[in-house]
Amino acid sequence: MKAKSLLLLCLGFFLGAFFCLDVTANIPAKITVTKTNYQGWQNSYILSNAQVEAVVVSKVGRIMQFRFKGGEPTFWENSQVYGKAPNIKSEEWGYFGAGGDKTWPAPQSEWEKITGKGWPPPATFDSVPVTARVNSSEVTLISPIDPFYGIRIYRKITLEQDKPVMKITTTYEKVTGKPQNVSVWIVTQLRDPVVVYAALPQQSIFPEGYNKQSENLPANLKVDNGLLSLKRDRNKSHKIGSDASTLLWMGEKVTVRIDSPRVPGASYPDNNSSAEIYTNLDPNTYVEFEFLSPLKTLRIGEKIDFTTTYTLIKRISDNSEQEAKKIIGLL
């Protein structure tokens, strides 16, 4: 039987009647990986299923985009650096703010002691090209060994076959040097939102449901029955931490849900925060969703694995709060 776009299985019965069954519904959607030139970066990859696509750029060590096919971008991209390679020796590009989704080591308060600089982030985690290992259904980014932390980073990017869902498993592997107490820190830069939300646990470890990590709190910060919400301030940057396991970014047409379940009883950086929200001021109009793994002392040969799950959801109304509650399960 020749392959067709619609596969029909026809069954004959003794009365001469024929019943045709569409069996394509039981065939999982194919996941593809396509090599491309993305925004001037050659040897990039588009990982796609029937609904969504993720753009992986090894030249800058990022998952640069996640979107519905033909839909609006959700990750923020810095158009000023399109096609450029990070240069750790350049003062201008010492911090390569390309956007997208990346990983840094936490806590940040240890950077100066370990690397000699409190800022920018350690170059291997932020400002070097990485190797892409590609197979038919996934892409894994592999970094060099960071000379300060003695850690190699792996980031495996996969899509679920029939859902608008991406998973990224980030692994820190200790290869050289003395034991290091570290947490995997995931930083996802997203475009200017309508509003962002955090689903707070019923028994939060923080009396107000969050902890303040910037000089001032956002003027529009609100906590109502376990749902934290805020909007980006155009004139000031803000940051808060929490013990949430779910964060929501809402655009005009689509919502991005990011999940990483908190481990009960574990110790986390940043005043025991497992999830953080940062909002940037103009002209770089982005917010950051940040998730952190529990702290672990890594010795040579040991690893930390940390998975973050990203789900795209099409918006169906103008009532952001009601939609957020439905997505989280509060309604």
**Any idea which residue has 């894994």 for tokens?**
140
**What is the pTM assigned to this prediction?**
0.91
The CATH number given to 32-328 is 2.70.98.10
The per-residue pLDDT for 87 is: 74
Q: How far is CA 84 from the centre of its chain?
A: 22
Q: What does the pLDDT read at residue 86?
A: 84
Q: Which helix (H) or strand (E) holds 106?
A: strand 101-106
- Going by C-alpha positions, the residue among 100, 152, 99, 142 that lies closest to residue 122 is 152
Burial class (CB in 10 A: 0-12, 13-18, 19+), 207: exposed
CB 184 within 8 A of CB 269: no
**Total residue length of the chain:** 331
Which mean pLDDT values do the consecutive 10-residue runs of the chain (331 residues) have?
A: 40 40 58 97 96 97 97 95 81 67 97 92 91 96 98 98 97 98 98 98 96 93 96 97 98 98 97 97 96 98 98 97 95 83
Answer for the pair 100, 62: CB distance below 8 angstroms, yes or no: yes
Domains of the chain, residue spans: 32-328
Residue 112 has φ and ψ, to the nearest 5°, of -65, -40
pLDDT at 28: 64
Q: CA–CA separation, 110 vs 123, rounded Å?
A: 15
Class of residue 71 by CB neighbours under 10 A (exposed 0-12, middle 13-18, buried 19+): middle
pLDDT of amino acid 127? 85
